[in-house]
Amino acid sequence: MKAKNNGNPEIHTWEMQEIVLEAKNEYENFYTDVTCWVDLEGPDFSKRIYGFWNGDNVYIVRIVATKAGLWTWKSGSNQPTDNGLNNNTGAFNAIDWTENEKEQNPNRRGFVKQTENGHALEYTDGTPFFMIGDTWLAGSTWRLPFRNATTQKDYVPGPGIGFEDAINYRDNQGYNSVSMIATFPNWEADNYPSTYADSSGIFLRNAWEKFGYDVSNMKGTDASGGLSYWGTFTSKNMRDEYGNLPFNMSDKHKGVSNFDYINPEYFKSLDKKMAFLSEQGFVTLLETVRRDAGPSWNAYFDFNESFARYVQYLISRYGAYNFIFSGIHLDWIPKEFSLTANQFNEALTYHLEKYGPMPFGQIHTTLIDRSTYKAFGHDKDCPWLTMHSVGNKPRDHRVSSAIDTLFNLNPPYPAINFEPYYTGWNHSINKPNGERPPANSARDNYFARAQMYGSVLSGALSGHVHGTAAYDITTIGEPEGVRPHFWEALKYDSGSVMQHLNTFMLSEGKKYQNLEPARKYVNPNKSSGSPEMGLDGWSYMMRTPKKDFALLYFENQSVLPELIDFTPNVFYSLTWFNPLSGIWGNSISIKTNKKGVLKLLEFPDKQNPSITDWALKIMQTTK
């Protein structure tokens, strides 16, 4: 930072800054005994920003300036006699980035927020943000190591892949987000199964399996007396690159993390990844923890208080980055391996009441089983939630109605599908209409595209998150089991075509943000016999209220429809788009009849029903 004439440091807006506080007193537990903060004042801003313990006697408060101008801060804590934590002050001047600098990194445009109509996302300066994300749930751990090394621009994924390599590869394909779970407590490659309960019947984990592990001396059992819920395999190790765990292990309860004693060294490793993502212009979806930590957390600790402190630790540590926060990875809500949605809702509401909302207005959501609305309700039912989602089940046409329901809630919230179809995953919930095609086959990749376009054009205008079976990041020295190696799944064709979804949706700039579900005006909108539990034969449309702009998607085996309730007797320009290649066709002009009906002449493949999937843009014209 350089100093201006008034002696205050000069920084850029939206650039993370650290205020370091050193405690003078000794504490039995620096994590739970101390809550510290700075009261931050600036142009149109006055808020308390909480800090986090970073080891030894050091606390850090991370802040950003949201507007250009003079900013001041004063520190405080719940320990009024600690002179190191209280009454420290400072000031700095914030300046704006140039437009050229914003082009280099869109995070300089400000943090992602709801659009004015509540249905989509944008940066603070109003530039659209359409999430093009990938699912790397274990990317926070050693499985995708941060190497602090540059990568080749034309890098092709292979064994030994590092975090920077993977980000560079997806960046070249137009991605702007990855999803990661911050920690995996109680997970270890040990002598216990991937899923097991302790002697009190409390399940300690429901982890992803470490295949190929010698299980001859396996100790634990599940509730049925077998070795493991999923089979005779132990858990994947989810430490950081240096072998650190996120929490100390409990002395009282074997195999249980001591959720009241956090390990800052683990998070110093995650810091490097979060900073790198920010520098590359990515908006990370960061999740607190997977739901299988809930049963032991609730059984042996004051869950609401302890979980809220952990949630706040993550928010304090990463809340000065442009990220989307997920309060819980609730991919499944089984009785044994999770707490209920109501219990998580209660804990996250407790956190909100104690610490307040996201520090700089970031989005708070969750990855979910089925629908956040079904799990938590809406608005005052779950006051911490600011973006809805669907995911995990169902992975077929039925998700469309769930998204449509979210779109029509009042007040409106953005929505997204966080766990759609996963290419290469042989699992019962990942078989549209019971079909399991070979990994990375044309059919496998088609299912992913159908979920991309079908989800967004059902009303999930926040964007889309891609997924493969390698979400657990099986790495060198581990057999694949039922999930491929990460570097192989990165090269699936389904991942490379995500960028075309962005091209299609943003082809008219911000105009997509005003689209509304209009599938009922596609006649017919599904072919005869197309199954609700499949991903063939359905057609989707969203259209603006003025009926001057529409985007459509036709699945494989769709029938040629009439489009009704457009403006009568006017010309529309129709332009076909190939979701597989990202190539636009030539525009044709068609005039509606006196009833406002647009008659499509043919699919680009000249087949009816179609033999592949197609997208279509319609714009009202003067001729």
Q: What is the pLDDT of residue 4?
A: 46
Closest CA to 418 of 375, 362, 456: 456
pTM of the model as a whole: 0.97
Using the structure block, give the residue that is written with the tokens 């992913």: 448
Q: What is the pLDDT of residue 214?
A: 65
Phi–psi pair at 130, nearest 5 degrees: -110, 110
Give the mean pLDDT of 133-147: 98
User: Tens of pLDDT along 304-329?
Assistant: 999 999 999 999 999 999 999 999 99
Helix or strand (DSSP H, E) at 620: strand 614-621
The pairing of strands 370-371 and 388-391 is antiparallel
Q: What is the pLDDT of residue 6?
A: 57
Helix, strand, coil tally for the chain in percent (to 5): 25, 25, 50
Whether the pLDDT of residue 623 is over 80: the answer is: no
Distances (CA, A) of 567 to 513, 539, 621: 20, 21, 11
Give the mean pLDDT of 567-577: 98
Whether the pLDDT of residue 428 is over 70: the answer is: yes
User: Tens of pLDDT along 449-477?
Assistant: 999 999 999 999 999 999 999 999 999 98
User: Tens of pLDDT along 95-104?
Assistant: 999 999 999 9
Of 76-80, 176-180, 216-220, 392-396, least confident by mean pLDDT is 216-220
d(CA 346, CA 366): 14
- Looking at per-residue pLDDT, the higher value among 362 and 224 belongs to 362
Closest CA to 306 of 265, 266, 339: 339
- Looking at per-residue pLDDT, the higher value among 87 and 227 belongs to 87
**Cβ contact 616:578 at 8 Å:** no
* Average pLDDT across the chain, whole number: 95
Whether the pLDDT of residue 217 is over 80: the answer is: no
CA 58 to chain centre: 31
ω before 524 within 30° of 0 (cis)?
yes
d(CA 390, CA 374): 9
Give the mean pLDDT of 100-116: 98
> Can you read off the two tokens belonging to residue 262?
């956090």
d(CA 517, CA 404): 7
The confidence band for 521, taking pLDDT boundaries of 50, 70 and 90, is very high
> Can you read off the two tokens belonging to residue 351?
């956190």
Whether the pLDDT of residue 517 is over 90: the answer is: yes
**Cβ contact 140:270 at 8 Å:** yes
Alpha helices (runs of H) in 323-391, residue ranges in sequence order: 341-355, 372-376
Whether the pLDDT of residue 1 is over 90: the answer is: no
DSSP 586: -
CB burial of 160-194 (b: ≥16 within 10 Å; e: otherwise) equals ebbbbbbbbbbeebbbbbbbbbbbbbbbbbeebbb
Whether the pLDDT of residue 5 is over 60: the answer is: no
> Can you read off the two tokens belonging to residue 487?
């570097």
Q: What is the pLDDT of residue 222?
A: 43
Whether the pLDDT of residue 554 is over 70: the answer is: yes
The confidence band for 233, taking pLDDT boundaries of 50, 70 and 90, is confident
d(CA 248, CA 244): 9
The confidence band for 212, taking pLDDT boundaries of 50, 70 and 90, is confident
HSE (CB half, 13 Å, CA atoms) of 168? Answer: 15
Give the mean pLDDT of 186-202: 92
The pairing of strands 284-289 and 177-183 is parallel
Q: What is the pLDDT of residue 562?
A: 97
User: Tens of pLDDT along 284-293?
Assistant: 999 999 999 9
Of 149-153, 417-421, 577-581, least confident by mean pLDDT is 149-153
User: Tens of pLDDT along 244-273?
Assistant: 999 999 999 999 999 999 999 999 999 999
d(CA 495, CA 507): 20
